[in-house]
Structure 1
Amino acid sequence: MTILVVGATGATGRLLVADLLKHGQKVKAVVRSSEKLSEFLKEDNLQIITSGILDLSDAEMTEHVKDCEAVASCLGHNLTFKGMFGHPRRLVTDTARRLCAAIVANNPEKPVKYVLMNTTGNRNHDLHEPISFAQKCVIAIIRLLIPPHSDNENAADYLRTKIGKNNKMIEWTAVRPDGLIDEQTVSNYTLHASPTRSAIFNPGKTSRINVARFMAQLLTDTNLWNTWKGQMPVIYNAEPTE
């Protein structure tokens, strides 16, 4: 299958590209600089589109997704002052909105998968996930002071409320890792419909390579996709056993 990946040069996006190529998938990667994917440039199954994702015109975006069976977004804001508070403040949300519009414009014969990398700090309101009053207060402050958090919330809400679960052209999943860490290899991980611990006061750990593996499997494994489509699965590294 052919998969469009945005955020492909990020810490998790690079791992997702590597995983997909390793397993024989065709990848289109939208990147500002091809140098950041230099180790993959000789891969026959990789097509690099050199551009900021929101710099593409509607016509260009529609053309790029035309032959894709799936889209994966690992977009995030750079942890710099400009990245956190500069433009585009709605990078993840606006990308989701425009890519979904491009998919619809192509009128695909079967639904295109959209996998969004999100966060456990964002609640799935379809499930009315309970959190403590203290966590509500902290999240409200984060939402007010750190624009990327609101962007993550709005992107998932766009998929959840605007695309919905019965769209004939787009199916989606929003993957929610907890505290992200770097590991060299894929390890055991657990999946949950909702967080099993507080993202603020008792966060778990999730390795980026495990997130990439789960996202790749969602995109390519029909049974796994049917289990989690229209949902916001939480992924944690498995707790070590004594």
Structure 2
Amino acid sequence: MTTLVVGASGATGRLLVAQLLDRGQRVRAIVRSPDRLPEALTNNNNLTVIRASVLELSDAEMAQHVSGCDAVASCLGHNLNVRGIFGHPRRLVTEATRRLCDAIKANRPEKPSKFVLMNTAGNRNRDLEEPISSLQRLVMGLIRLVLPPQTDNEAAVEYLRTQIGHHDPAIEWVVVRPDSLTNQDQVTAYELHPSPTRSAIFNPGSTSRINVGHFMADLITDDDTWNKWKGQMPVIYDKAQQAGAELPKGAARGG
């Protein structure tokens, strides 16, 4: 199996790449700065590094990089600085999602390709009646006005939900929604829910990046996990650790 990963040099993307390589998968990684990838990854023969900015690739180049891939994963996001939040491209996640999906369709795969998009628990699944308080609705409206990345994340999901939909012959998708991201060295037990179980604004949970990478790798490599969540937007929270707590499937591989 071969997976194309965009945003592979980011804090979560490189962990996803490591998880996939650890499972013996072939990975193509599109990165602007290959030197940001750890040497342990770049020395792996199953990794092909493509030095490029994903939005600067031509349609033909994008289709070439997607060709032969069983899955595409996006860990793209905006850097948390003034330039990353307010600079261009403001629709990085949305445009990359659209162009990658167009590239998948251009190759006319014999079976649907998997598309996994990392997003945020602050984004609602509008296929479901996810409850939200009036106060949170007001705050989210203000966030959309002042923080362009929130609008970008929402638009990327809406593209998958409404333009690709649930019955596209070329693409099946899952949107992974972590809450407040943390850095951990090892995969730990985590919980998956169809919708948030707490407020991302007023009572956020925590999700380690390595757990996000682990779950995304499970979606890509395990058909049972994929079939359970395809067309959905699972929310992932770290589970409070207890003595003897069971780790998620494959956790011994991670980290």
TM-score grouping bracket, smaller chain normalisation: over 0.9
1:175 lines up with 2:176 in the alignment: yes
Corresponding position of 1:102: 103
What is residue 119 of structure 1 aligned with on the other side? 120
Q: Secondary structure of 2:37's match?
A: helix
| 8 Å contact kept, 2:196–2:235 | yes
Query: Is residue 209 from structure 1 mapped to residue 207 from structure 2 by the alignment?
Result: no
Deviation at 1:241, TM superposition (A): 4.4
Shift of 1:34: 1.2
The question of 1:72 aligning with 2:73 is answered yes
Deviation at 1:36, TM superposition (A): 1.0
2: CA distance, partners of 1:8 / 1:29: 6
Match of 2:20 in 1: 20
Q: Report the equivalent of 1:221.
A: 222
Q: Which runs of 5+ in 2 are unaligned?
A: 244-255
Amino acid in structure 2 at the alignment position of 1:31: V
Report the Cα offset of residue 62 of structure 1.
Answer: 0.4
TM norm structure 2 = 0.93
AA matched with 2:78: H
Following the alignment from structure 2 to structure 1, what is the Cα–Cα distance between the partners of residues 42 and 215?
24
Structure 1 CA distance for aligned equivalents of residues 171 and 112 of structure 2:
5
Q: Which residue of 1 aligns with 2:29?
A: 29
Question: What letter corresponds to residue 16 of structure 2 in structure 1?
Answer: L
Q: Which amino acid aligns with 1:142?
A: I
Identity, in percent, stands at 62
Q: Within 1, Cα distance between the matches of 2:187 and 2:242?
A: 17
SS in 1 for 2:174: strand
The count of corresponding residues between Structure 1 and Structure 2 is 242
Question: 1: CA distance between counterparts of 2:37 and 2:212?
Answer: 19
Is the CA contact 2:189–2:241 (under 8 Å) kept in the aligned structure 1? no
Q: Where does residue 54 of structure 1 map in the other structure?
A: 55
Normalising by the residue count of structure 1, what TM-score does the alignment of the two structures yield?
A: 0.98
Q: Against the structure 1 CA distance between its residues 207 and 38, is the aligned structure 2 distance closer, same or farther, given a 3 Å change threshold?
A: closer
- Tell me the distance in 2 between the aligned counterparts of 1:13 and 1:41: 14
Question: Is residue 85 of structure 1 aligned with residue 72 of structure 2?
Answer: no
Deviation at 1:240, TM superposition (A): 3.5
Q: 1:38 to 1:241 in 2, by over 3 A?
A: closer
Take 1:112 and 1:206, find their aligned partners in 2: how far apart are those partners? 27
Match of 1:161 in 2: 162
The runs of 4+ residues in structure 1 deviating greater than 4 Å are none
Whole-angstrom CA distance in 2 between matches of 1:76 and 1:105 = 25
Q: Provide the alpha-carbon RMSD of the alignment.
A: 0.9
